[in-house]
Amino acid sequence: MKYIDEFQDPALARRLLDDIHATVTRPWALMEVCGGQTHTIIRHGIDQLLPEQVELIHGPGCPVCVTPLEVIDKALEIASRPDVIFCSFGDMLRVPGTGRDLFQVRSEGGDVRVVYSPLDALRVAQDNPQRQVVFFGIGFETTAPPNAMTVHQAKKLGIRNFSLLVSHVRVPPAIEAIMKSPSCRVQGFLAAGHVCSVMGVGEYPELAERHRVPVVVTGFEPLDILEGVRRAVRQLERGEHTVENAYARAVRPEGNPAALAMLEDVFEVTDRAWRGIGVIPDSGWRLSARYRDFDAEHRFSVSGIDTREPAECRSGEVLQGLLKPHECEAFGTLCTPRSPLGATMVSSEGACAAYYLYRRLELGTAPAAATTPLEASPVV
Amino acid sequence: MCLAVPGRVLDIGEKDGTRMATVDFGGVQKEVCLEYLPDLRVGEYAIVHVGFALQRLDEESARQTLALFEELGMLQEEFGDPWEQAAAQAGADSTWPFADGPFADGPLAGEATAPQHAQEEGRP
Ligand code: SF4
């Protein structure tokens, strides 16, 4: 319990932990879907405070990590064009494409700009009517409504030099795919709180019922995670499988109706490839026919790019919870945040980055010990 | 990018026919679109993601979350200079993100934000 004093309210953390310890009688494997939750867990050593029987498996919930290499390469291609201003969120800058990243594109003269909001990108388009402005529209259900509103605004204001390179993904089909996989060990889910702030909880009861798996909507703070684990374990021990909302302060059951209506108007559901995982049916959004004019892939010809994934990178297995980051042979040696092989090593929500940031010394993969084989190191 | 941050509405106006607000996030102020929470009022709190208010939050939980995010360096991650952060990542691996090891005094001893003193040589 060496980390307990680090919690905001150690007394409450202790109570939750005691309750989990008292409830558990058998081994259980829970998946935290969201990468933000993964970082909280690793940063605070929550996995080490839990009873040995409770295993936390990291899920695919990092939008930066799951954006397919092909889309990154398209982004790099478009961003390199002299007539284009390419706008992106900051955490896409160092995501490796085939051989380079957006950071390098800018150093080679590309006009790459970082925006805080997609509406900022629209403003860049208004201010530069003679240039094409492309916004990199990635993200889960939390990011899709802002991007949808921005395209809607562009259409409403008649802004012709703005387009979206879209790679939006949806969480429930990914959960479905994980449950259907023959190697699946997951017995309960901590669902991503902010996704549910938008979507509500309506997509989950059917999923929970069909796969007989508890789903607990969970926030991002250490106490949120502990409460999510506590509720999931309690359900599992009782043989229940319902949907619970442990993040009621930010999640209403119906989600955000205005955002849902805009999503419905601007996007349509489509199959989408997830980096390292492959195509998951119905797991993404693309612009609906009424907004096709604003699709950067239609506006620019970016086909025929030769994409090459580094053979060493096992981020697909990491994202499906089949492998812990430090079990990848390249972890901390060939692959570091400075020269990442996979997006999971650079994203602020990536699982490999979490282990590199918080567990590196413990795992014996700090630079001084970079050649120490992992097997010989104390493993968590 | 995916984490939403709680903020407090300072004032509300309109831009291009869209309801917009100035929102304070523990000292940093940003322009935020209110189209998805049209009845949010001045003084209220909401969780905000990439410049859009997505859900109301009560003051107490907003304050707690903000304090925690601040302590963990997540506000710097969200609102700091992304080019500096990327440069630090690209060029300063030996010191990034910790100067002297994250476990020197427990896991929270070193903060995981990109260092403020982002190494210059890594920048384009
Ligand atoms: S450590 Fe690097 S190479 Fe290994 S799975 Fe993670 S990102 Fe890929």
Q: Which residue does chain B place closest to A2, by CA atoms?
A: B106
- Quick check: A178 and A184 in contact, CB under 8 A? yes
| CB A353 less than 6 A from any atom of ligand 1 | no
Q: How many Cα atoms occupy the beta-carbon half-sphere of A15 within 13 Å?
A: 5
Q: How confident is the model at residue B107 (pLDDT cuts 50, 70, 90)?
A: very low
**CA–CA dist A91, A276 (Å, integer):** 19
Shortest CB distance from A142 goes to which of B4, B30, B79?
Answer: B4
Q: Touching check for B54 and chain A: CB below 8 Å?
A: yes
Nearest-Cα residue of chain B relative to residue A116: B50
Which residue is closest to B95 within chain A, CA to CA?
A: A367
Helix, strand, or coil (residue A146) = helix
Range with lowest mean pLDDT among A7-16, A98-107, A128-137, A198-207: A7-16
Question: How do residues A226-276 score in pLDDT, each as one tens digit?
Answer: 999 999 999 999 999 999 999 999 999 999 999 999 999 999 999 999 988
pLDDT tens per residue, range A309-331? 888 999 989 988 889 999 999 99
Question: Chain B window 91-120: which residues touch A at a Cβ cutoff of 8 Å?
Answer: 91-94, 96-97, 101-103, 106-108, 112
- Tokens of residue B68, six digits: 């925690």
User: Is A59 within 8 Å of chain B by CB?
Assistant: no
**In angstroms, rounded to a whole number, what is the distance separating the alpha carbons of residues A197 and A179?**
23
Residue B14, chain A, CB below 8 Å: the answer is: no
Q: How far is A156 from A159, CA to CA, in rounded Å? A: 8
Residue A378 is predicted with a pLDDT of: 32
Would you call B31 an interface residue with chain A, using a CB distance cutoff of 8 Å? yes
pLDDT tens track for B74-86? 677 777 777 787 7
Say yes or no to pLDDT of A193 above 70: yes
